[in-house]
Structure 1
Amino acid sequence: MDPVIVAKGDSPVVLGLPHTGTYVPEEIAADLNEEGLRLRDTDWHVDRLYSESAPGLHTTVAATFHRYVIDANRDPSGQSLYPGQTTTGLIPRTTFDNLPIWKDGREPDERATAARLAAFHAPYHAALRAELDRVKARHGIAVLFDCHSIRSVIPWLFEGTLPDFNIGTDNGTTCAAEIERVTAEICAASGRTSVLNGRFRGGWTTRHYGRPGDGIHAIQMELAQSSYLATEAPPFAYDEAKAADLGRTLDTILTAISDEALRLAAQR
């Protein structure tokens, strides 16, 4: 299976989908324990959610492999996203509930990590970089909208209940203020809960590609799965009514970002 699937769109927005994939090669699956094989920490149905909210308009770059193979939203050097805070690494050792996912003695070593970087992580980011460059060449600007979701209650990672919309711009450094502002305003006006640069202020992908001075902007959207799933436990069923309502807001956000990006490009 190809490690990444690209669908080209015409807008200045590129949707990154690093955590929707569920593919685990057989030789890697053989090392996962029963908990690991549940793939509990997938960004369940986020690809469907965005494809239904704005079909064909925006470019999508989607990883097909699961984050337990290797996490496409982590620094390839292995450096922590949030030093001093609880998080999972480049190849997770545990679930978001701090439960081991590998059979005893079968955790990936440095050699396995290097192989997975080459086979999965690098191709995903090569495709993402190529699409951002293509979009920028066409429009004079590109906006990476990094699409994520997570269970709304995970005590090991954060206290309390996560807001529906969690916007990350690494404290305003990864995109123009206008793009951050329109996103936050639409989320606030939606009647749903939202936060800007809270627990999730943007992962490695957002921080790595977001270079507003170079015409490439990046913003992360972490959705609480309770906002569009019927349940945040297996089978993680998609709630079509909830998703349709949320999708309308996402479409409004992406349209506003696209319009703002084109306005900014015209001023350059």
Structure 2
Amino acid sequence: MSIDTELFEVIEPAVQSIPFVYNSPHSGRRYPVSFLNQSRLDGLSIRRSEDHFVDELFSAAPAMGAPMLLAHFPRAYVDVNREPYELDPRMFSDPLPPYANSNSARVAGGLGTVPRIVAENMEIYQGRIPLSVAMARIDSCYKPYHACLRRLVARTHTRFGFSVLIDCHSMPGNIRVSGSGVRPDFIIGDRYGTSASGELSQAALQFLEELGFTAVRNKPYAGGFITEHYGRPARGLHALQIEINRSLYIDEVTLEKRSDFDQLAGSIGVFMQQMADFVADYAGERPLAAE
């Protein structure tokens, strides 16, 4: 069963048989015409912030017994992996409300809830925009998306006694681990052990490495708002962020899929099944614990 709105989609399994929820918040590629008309960027440049086709890479989730939530709206339009009101005062023709967070590092970098730039520091807008535009996007996209994600996680936790949220993302191909020069294929983020059990993170790294990938933990991406907000391992709520190196599966200039896209998707499917089996075996012995 699929619940599809213009904004996001939940693809449900016939029966949820594993305590996982998969989430792809940045793979949306439906660009409103009004938004494109406000932008100074062309149709290809505006897509540079997408987690291209990540929803397809993890599309095996429902067949394995887990629901999958995916955004249709693009990250450049509104970013649900932020606090609800991380807003940049430089973007707007009106003053920000007092509850807005305008001092975060993400806002300073131009990547707040309503982003000022896409990747490679390209300005999205031709000039300042009304604050009401941002507020409308937060009310119509951000809040319903998180309400849906909360329901999925709460339902899973109630049914199984614990839940594992896998937050699925991609990263540029030129990312290196500081101090080592390693170019990771995957990064597992658990907010330095605060959003998921150490056993879960280590299992994810091990399975990816056994599949032939280079995988690292937390550097340079430890997880964003979703991982931080939904991960409460002491309560049985685990959240992992997974970043995939885009150069593995797309041409980063044309944004077209590489010929081995399906092969990578197959490997990710194997990884997902291994994670499900690990959690089933481990939880049968003792609950997943916080690190």
* Counterpart for residue 171 of structure 1: 192
Deviation larger for 215-224 or 28-37: 28-37
* Counterpart for residue 37 of structure 2: 30
Larger C-alpha radius of gyration, 1 or 2?
2
Contact 2:20/2:165 (<8 A) preserved: yes
Deviation at 1:54, TM superposition (A): 6.5
Query: Kindly tell me: are residues 113 and 128 of structure 1, through their superposed partners in 2, closer, same or farther at Cα, counting changes over 3 Å?
Result: same
Contact 1:139/1:265 (<8 A) preserved: no
Deviation at 1:25, TM superposition (A): 1.9
Query: Kindly tell me: are residues 32 and 258 of structure 1, through their superposed partners in 2, closer, same or farther at Cα, counting changes over 3 Å?
Result: farther
Residue 44 of structure 2 is aligned to residue 40 of structure 1: no
Deviation larger for 67-76 or 28-37: 28-37
Q: Which of these residues, 266, 270, 282, is aligned with residue 244 of structure 1?
A: 266
Residue 108 of structure 2 is aligned to residue 101 of structure 1: no
1:2-13 alignment, distance < 5 Å: 2-9=6-13, 10=16, 11-13=18-20
Residue 201 of structure 2 is aligned to residue 180 of structure 1: yes
Query: Kindly tell me: are residues 33 and 166 of structure 1, through their superposed partners in 2, closer, same or farther at Cα, counting changes over 3 Å?
Result: same
What is the total number of aligned residue pairs between the two structures? 263
Distance 1:214 1:248 in 2: 28
Counterpart secondary structure, 1:128: helix
Distance 1:234 1:98 in 2: 18
Deviation at 1:56, TM superposition (A): 4.7
Residue 254 of structure 2 is aligned to residue 234 of structure 1: yes
Contact 2:11/2:62 (<8 A) preserved: no
**Identity percentage of aligned residues:** 30
Distance 1:72 1:63 in 2: 9
Distance 2:109 2:60 in 1: 33
Distance 1:166 1:261 in 2: 24
Residue 175 of structure 2 is aligned to residue 151 of structure 1: no
* Counterpart for residue 80 of structure 2: 72
Counterpart secondary structure, 2:122: coil
Query: Kindly tell me: are residues 136 and 53 of structure 1, through their superposed partners in 2, closer, same or farther at Cα, counting changes over 3 Å?
Result: closer
With normalisation by structure 2, the TM-score equals 0.80
Query: Kindly tell me: are residues 122 and 234 of structure 1, through their superposed partners in 2, closer, same or farther at Cα, counting changes over 3 Å?
Result: same
* Counterpart for residue 198 of structure 1: 219
With normalisation by structure 1, the TM-score equals 0.86
Larger relative contact order (Cα-Cα within 8 Å, sequence gap ≥ 6): 1
Distance 1:87 1:101 in 2: 10
Contact 1:142/1:261 (<8 A) preserved: no
Q: Which of these residues, 24, 30, 39, is aligned with residue 17 of structure 1?
A: 24
